[in-house]
Structure 1
Amino acid sequence: MTALALARREALGGAARLTVDLGAVAENVRLLRRRTAAGLMAVVKADGFGHSAVDVARTAVAAGAGWLGVTSVDEAVALRDAGLRVPVLSWLNPLDADFGAAVRRGVDLAVPSGAHLDAIAGAAGPARVHLHLDTGMARDGAEPEAWLDLCRRARAAEQDGRIRVVGVMGHLACAETPGHPANAAGRRLFEWGAAIARGAGLRPAVRHLAASAAALTDPRSHFDLVRVGAALVGIDPTGTTALRTALSLTAPIVAVRRVPAGTPVGYGHAWRTGAATTLGLVPVGYADGLPRNAWPRAEVHVRGRRRRLAGRISMDQFVVDLGTDPVRPGETATVFGPGDAGEPTLADWAGWADTIPHELVTRLGPRLRRHVIAADHPAPDGNLP
């Protein structure tokens, strides 16, 4: 039985159910490993893109990921508390973050500025750091004008035994558009930055620039390590690769009514029935993470057919137009899934809401009952190099 079939069966008469298929995560990791000669960092920030950071991390490591990546120190420490022993990198922290806790737990830290270098070097014990260069986003990372000074200061701190520079990192602005000129410019700037670091006497073991999009489409950007987050859970920002979706959302239809043509539905009477029809009520809404603005185009899957939403998505519920189908309360509506049976996908919902799947999976609310389907192999802890 597939993960979606299991979710549909268990949604009958129950609450809305979010099913996480860790087998899909494992399959995606194996595909990504075949695509690159570089190492693979599984990025499990934002609670594993809404799929459970610890579950996704364990599965990814078992399938061959050698590193884990998160934003904050707290996220990294949670992985250590869960027993994961592979290298973990945290790359977005304020100056007053608990860098001492990171160092004590063997967490690598990104250094995007001289001030961060001073704060991290002041923590007890030698810190493993990755110097972070801004390669064209004017966002995180050191400005190119400050890079040489940062490398020299890092080398001095390394000689003093306060840090160990194990990596140099950057990020591409337009990797979701293969062939965009900003990608070549970012690679050139990154190669310059790595050369400057070596010229300053640093010997980083890993250079990493590519995230999911570039990992899938741009081997020139892979260097020693690729950072993969969205692609782990089946999201391909480039639309070029058949990844396996790891998430499905199903919910029971809790009420059914037959209404005549011209019946207004929902807030503002924004939609009216065009003919006599059957309406079904589904207990999921924008408080659970569904994008409210998707309703004019959004569909769900009921009895093997896609059915349009009728009226606006409310906080806790939406209505679906069932036409002449003799649907009864307790039957299942599939909000999204892999698409194998014709159900809407996350990409469909993202299109209807004019956003990206990344936003949708990370906004799904805690009211949704989560069910995790394990991958078919155990996850080892791994070891720090």
Structure 2
Amino acid sequence: MDEHAGGPVPHAQVRVDLSAIRDNVRELNIRTGAAEVMAVVKADAYGHGLVPAARAAQAGGATWLGTAVLGEALALRAAGVTGRLMAWLCAPGERWADALAADVDVSASAPWAVAEIAAAARETGRTARLHLKVDTGLGRGGAPRAEWTTLVDTALKAQADGLVNVVGLWSHFAIADAPEHPVNTAQVAAFRAALAAAEARGARPEVRHLANSAATLMAPQSHFDLVRTGLATYGLSPVPDAVRPDEVGLRPAMSVRARLALVKRVPAGHGVSYGHFYVTDRETTLALVPLGYADGVPRHGSGGDGGPGAPVLVGGRIRQVAGRVCMDQFVVDVGDDDVRAGDEVVLFGDAAGEPTAQDWARACRTISYEIVTRFAPRLPRTYVGEEPQR
């Protein structure tokens, strides 16, 4: 589906290939064996579009979908997306009743959360599907191991009262992108101990889950019953220095493209953009790209005295951002290349020879997760590839 077919061509857009998402999930399913795949579609599906990406992932064989916040899970249900769906980042006073009414699995890391979920179940007459999270070493969400049995006992009491079903036990890795790190071994052992303790007290979960994208690709011993694939769903590697996407059958689903807004010739010694961070060293051509940090282009992609800017493809050649990235635009020095206003420029893409989101991440000293999730809603999404209808 192309939202702009037959209409005006936008000055810039995020293009998402839904067939890539579908095929990536199929490949991940092959690699996980008996474990099911939860496609993580939090943060608007890592910037790819919540509902279209979720449907494409399901078409590829994802039997679960995961969001961080409940609002995104409810938006999926409102769009008619069915199947197992989990939301895990909740604070006191959450919309638990709405979650239960929409058949959204919820998570608890403390007894107060179990109490609130049980109260919503009593109020609505709907039994909650509950996952219990243990902190095995990340030091973020999850019950401390010293308090794990208290959380389990609280949940099993609510289960005995008919208010919840404890359907999942889970945790999250801290250093899965370094698979040989001893913390990973310790976390797997801690998770197994937590599972044993919960099951000894009567828990009979449907799924036990620990692995994220990096562990899915590199730590099969951590797959258990379910893996949660975020970045890999969208064809990017969470361990780019160890595994390239194409090495594991993944291909990027997102590209960011624009049309040059202005091309002009300038003399040597001409300052470019705010602060003259970049100054031309010869007569050259400057090309104006109508995208900036308000659209999600990282300001850290600026180029000049501090080093080369982030890469873009324009006129068939890789060039770098010249000068400061501004709120709505940035400049590329294209030398003597024959480019014109209206020509396409690719910030990063999904085809051979185009810069990648990982290239941008390196240039900006960050991770590809941040690159793809940051593009703003004002930048239209165009969907290509087969869009599953459900």
Q: CA deviation at 1:14?
A: 4.0
Partner secondary structure for residue 337 of structure 2: coil
Distance 1:11 1:229, change over 3 A: farther
Residue 290 of structure 1 corresponds to 297
Residue 57 of structure 1 corresponds to 54
8 Å CA contact 1:25, 1:59 repeated in 2: yes
Residue 78 of structure 1 corresponds to 75
- Between the aligned partners of 1:190 and 1:309, the Cα distance in structure 2 is 46
Alignment of 1:83-98 (within 5 A): 83-98=80-95
Question: Of residues 322, 331, 344 in structure 2, which corresponds to 1:310?
Answer: 322
Question: Of residues 324, 327, 330 in structure 1, which corresponds to 2:339?
Answer: 327
Q: CA deviation at 1:88?
A: 0.5
Distance 1:202 1:145, change over 3 A: same
Question: Of residues 267, 271, 283 in structure 1, which corresponds to 2:278?
Answer: 271
Q: CA deviation at 1:367?
A: 2.1
Distance 1:211 1:11, change over 3 A: farther
Partner secondary structure for residue 123 of structure 1: helix
Distance 1:14 1:206, change over 3 A: closer
Partner secondary structure for residue 228 of structure 2: strand
- Between the aligned partners of 1:237 and 1:150, the Cα distance in structure 2 is 32
Distance 1:379 1:14, change over 3 A: closer
Distance 1:55 1:271, change over 3 A: same
Partner secondary structure for residue 287 of structure 1: coil
- Between the aligned partners of 1:219 and 1:10, the Cα distance in structure 2 is 47
Residue 193 of structure 1 corresponds to 194
* Deviations, residues 141-171 of structure 1 (Å, cap 9, x unaligned): 1000000111112111111111100010100
Letter in 2 for 1:41: M
Q: CA deviation at 1:13?
A: 6.7
Q: CA deviation at 1:374?
A: 3.6
Residue 166 of structure 1 corresponds to 167
* Deviations, residues 261-316 of structure 1 (Å, cap 9, x unaligned): 11111111111111111111111011110111112221211121011222111111
* Deviations, residues 28-70 of structure 1 (Å, cap 9, x unaligned): 1011001012001111001111111111111111110101111
Residue 147 of structure 2 corresponds to 146
Residue 100 of structure 1 corresponds to 97
Q: CA deviation at 1:375?
A: 2.3
TM-score by length of 2: 0.92
RMSD between aligned alpha carbons? Answer: 1.9
Indicate the percent of aligned positions where both proteins have the same amino acid.
46
Moved over 3 A (4+): 9-14
8 Å CA contact 2:315, 2:338 repeated in 1: no
Question: Of residues 355, 359, 377 in structure 1, which corresponds to 2:370?
Answer: 359
Partner secondary structure for residue 322 of structure 2: coil
- Between the aligned partners of 1:369 and 1:160, the Cα distance in structure 2 is 49
Partner secondary structure for residue 58 of structure 1: helix
Partner secondary structure for residue 216 of structure 1: helix
Question: Of residues 6, 11, 18 in structure 2, which corresponds to 1:15?
Answer: 11
Say yes or no: does 1:230 pair with 2:227: no
Equivalent residues, number: 373
Q: Which runs of 5+ in 2 are unaligned?
A: 304-308
8 Å CA contact 2:158, 2:164 repeated in 1: yes
- Between the aligned partners of 1:379 and 1:12, the Cα distance in structure 2 is 26
Question: Of residues 19, 24, 28 in structure 2, which corresponds to 1:28?
Answer: 24
Residue 306 of structure 2 corresponds to none
8 Å CA contact 1:20, 1:51 repeated in 2: yes
- Between the aligned partners of 1:190 and 1:45, the Cα distance in structure 2 is 24
Distance 1:237 1:141, change over 3 A: same
8 Å CA contact 1:42, 1:227 repeated in 2: yes
Partner secondary structure for residue 309 of structure 1: strand
* Deviations, residues 92-135 of structure 1 (Å, cap 9, x unaligned): 10110010111111111111111111111111321110110011
Letter in 1 for 2:228: R
8 Å CA contact 1:59, 1:379 repeated in 2: no
Partner secondary structure for residue 328 of structure 1: coil
* Deviations, residues 206-232 of structure 1 (Å, cap 9, x unaligned): 000001110111100000000111111
* Deviations, residues 323-362 of structure 1 (Å, cap 9, x unaligned): 111211111111110251x221100111111111111211
Residue 383 of structure 1 corresponds to none
Partner secondary structure for residue 14 of structure 2: strand
* Deviations, residues 67-88 of structure 1 (Å, cap 9, x unaligned): 1111122111111111122111
Residue 355 of structure 2 corresponds to 344
TM-score by length of 1: 0.93
8 Å CA contact 2:301, 2:321 repeated in 1: no
Residue 215 of structure 2 corresponds to 214
8 Å CA contact 1:42, 1:65 repeated in 2: yes
Letter in 2 for 1:134: D
8 Å CA contact 1:271, 1:311 repeated in 2: yes
